[in-house]
Homo-oligomer: A and B are copies of this chain.
């Protein structure tokens, strides 16, 4: 595999920290590692493969010599910096929502549409966390039975919002035990012992932006403008791991739940966790630091012609963000889809 210099933008954040860990554990042949962050964090250090590396400011000029940069710096920073990085010869794998729906920017889940990455022009987008795990679980079924409609309700962890939200849930937990009034600033309401059916801003159609990401990104990734998605996105008091209750209807008849389990067990990136007799099903507490998408509660839905219900859990910081981005970097290196002189085709 081609040796590369790899950067992480937003290296001090919740996802950035996971990205560094994923790169350490990946198959990437790293010549040099460059952590970048906002100016305020420049000069601090992060550990990479046992060595302390100084964090640099992410700005014009920072990206020269970096082959691939994993971005997790938020949409605004990405809007400015990703084109600069691409201009400086770097391939950006961006975790924000900034570029996902831009024409010409591939939106990639390696298990689902790795072929799309080839056509990149310097920026590849990492999809929304909820969308990634849903599509890893559903792609094998879409290929065989063609999914026409998805009704999905999410149970999303606070780490999807970032380090401040993790701290808010921790703080509220301590306040509760001390009998103090619970305070909040990240979420509009208390999240401890609560469910908040509101992620990202509301759109005119009554859905939230988070929900519309699941609609639009699914269509782009599956290259199927006819697939219908009706999502409800909910924040729950969980630190790590998004859960999804998914109901699908397919065009072609589906086999029994047992046969579908076998299909999913062989699918890339999927771990079937479905043993009712032993209380085994996917749960957030079991998915931490894992790259797989866990699928369980697999059962035929008798209320519609070709229906199926399932329960899907994955670590939102891993497959939903850092691990998926790292897999894209590995894909680019394996296939030689790097820019400049390292490009193989």
Contact = CB atoms under 8 A, between A and B. Distances in A.
Given A151-B151, A230-B301, A238 B284 contact: no
A307 B151 CA distance: 11
A285 B193 CA distance: 8
B284 A193 contact: yes
B149 A281 contact: no
A277 B206 CA distance: 11
B195 A238 contact: yes
B190 A285 contact: yes
Interface string A69-93: 0000000000000000000000000
A243 B232 CA distance: 12
Contacts of A177: 173-174, 177
Interface string A7-30: 000000000000000000000000
Contacts of A189: 279, 283, 285
Given A177-B177, A194-B238, A311-B197, A230 B281 contact: no
A126 B300 CA distance: 29
Interface residues of A, number: 55
A222 interface: no
A309 B153 CA distance: 11
A99 interface: no
A218 to B, nearest CB: 11
A51 interface: no
A155 B194 CA distance: 10
B195 A283 contact: yes
Nearest to A190: B285
A122 interface: no
Contacts of A304: 149, 228, 230
A277 to B, nearest CB: 8
Interface string A266-301: 000000000011010111110000000000111111
B155 A195 contact: yes
B234 A155 contact: yes
Contact of A237 (B193, B243, B247, B303): B193
Q: Name the 5 nearest CB pairs between A and B, nearest first.
A: A206-B299, A228-B303, A153-B245, A153-B153, A202-B276
Interface of A: 149, 151, 153, 155, 173-174, 176-177, 188-190, 193-198, 202, 205-207, 228-230, 232, 234, 236-239, 243, 245, 247, 257, 276-277, 279, 281-285, 296-304, 307, 309, 311, 313
Given A153-B232, A190-B285, A193-B239, 6 more contacts: A151-B151, A193-B284, A197-B243, A198-B281, A205-B302, A232-B247
8 contacts: A153-B245, A193-B237, A206-B257, A206-B300, A207-B299, A229-B303, A230-B309, A234-B243
